[in-house]
Amino acid sequence: MLRVGTRGSRLAVAQTQLVASALTKRTGIETEIVRVTTHGDVNRASLATLGGTGVFATELRDALRAGECDLVVHSLKDLPTAPAPGLTIAAYPRRVDARDALCSAGGADGPGLDALPHGAKVGTGSPRRIAQLLEQRPDLEIRDIRGNVGTRLAFVTSGELDAVVLACAGLERLGNTEVISERLPLDRFPTAPGQGCLAVEAREGDEVPGVAELDDLAARAAVLAERGVLATLEAGCSAPVAATGRLADGTLAVWASVYAGDGSRRLSAAGTAPLPEGAPPSQIANELASAVAAELLDQGAAALLA
């Protein structure tokens, strides 16, 4: 029996179930989902006072260290870049669509970003998404919304907002893609580092059966580069920083942007590095990330992030 820890939100449980059933399929070992109730889930209003964005991860990690479970599954996007002593990311499973989704009234038949009426009200609490939206559509009225996926979508169905922006990945894992009006293109809407990717974390030194086989090289290389940019910039996961990586044909590419909060300025840098077959990706990804981040800092990223 493998116990797989997760936050209690519907999305977190859904994505943990996907990992657990993949493990069972590979190994025949039964799995049990352990819901770790985090303070962040109990009291969202005080998220900032609880220590900000790392709060969910910290409590899951404590449960893993305490032996309450054998693995935990995180949304990589929400995981701080600082390493967790005694723990290791044992697998970055195959990534789903990393793009952001504009969800407007009418769902799949609803207007995309360019077709929203002048001054339309769009909900998101992400500084990156706010800056990206305003860069393309300075006329939009951005509303700060919080809460889980269902809560955010309800702002659109109730008519309170014209649209919300969510990650395609979460909607896919919830089986809810019919609410997507437009998948925002990665060239103008590079993603949060790690978006669309899960992280399966284990205690260092533990050999949990089947987990290593869940690791996907393309996902691992891309997210290490994306998160390397974030780490080098010393920016947190709520900073207006976007980084998108891709491994294709033996070449690892990453492109990244840092935004002024109101979308009036954007710094961008990109790079590629060959990733020879069989080479471990971490060093190459880190060097590529450092070079891209250095270019952003040369352009004045620190001032935008201050």
Ligand X SMILES: NCc1[nH]cc(CCC(=O)O)c1CC(=O)O
From the list 5, 40, 196, 263, which residue makes contact with ligand X (rule: CB under 6 A)? 196
Position 124 contacts ligand X (CB under 6 A): no
Distance separating alpha carbons of residues 33 and 284, to the nearest angstrom: 35
Residues pairing with 274 in the sheet: 251
246 catalytic, yes or no? no
Distance separating alpha carbons of residues 181 and 97, to the nearest angstrom: 15
Distance separating alpha carbons of residues 208 and 221, to the nearest angstrom: 22
Q: CB of 298: closest distance to ligand X in angstroms?
A: 29
Burial of 129 from C-beta contacts in 10 A (0-12 / 13-18 / 19+): buried
Catalytic site residue from 99, 128, 173, 220: 128
Site string for ligand X, 65-94 (x = CB under 6 A): ----------x-xx----------------
Q: CB of 170: closest distance to ligand X in angstroms?
A: 3
Length of the chain: 306
Q: CB of 223: closest distance to ligand X in angstroms?
A: 10
Q: CB of 282: closest distance to ligand X in angstroms?
A: 21
Which one, of 76, 103, 111, 97, lies nearest residue 237 by Cα? 76
57 vs 167, which CB is nearer to ligand X?
A: 167
Position 230 contacts ligand X (CB under 6 A): no
Which one, of 4, 79, 50, lies nearest residue 238 by Cα? 79
Active site residues: 77-78, 128-129, 146, 152, 237
Which residues contribute to the site for ligand X (CB under 6 A)?
A: 75, 77-78, 166-167, 169-170, 195-196
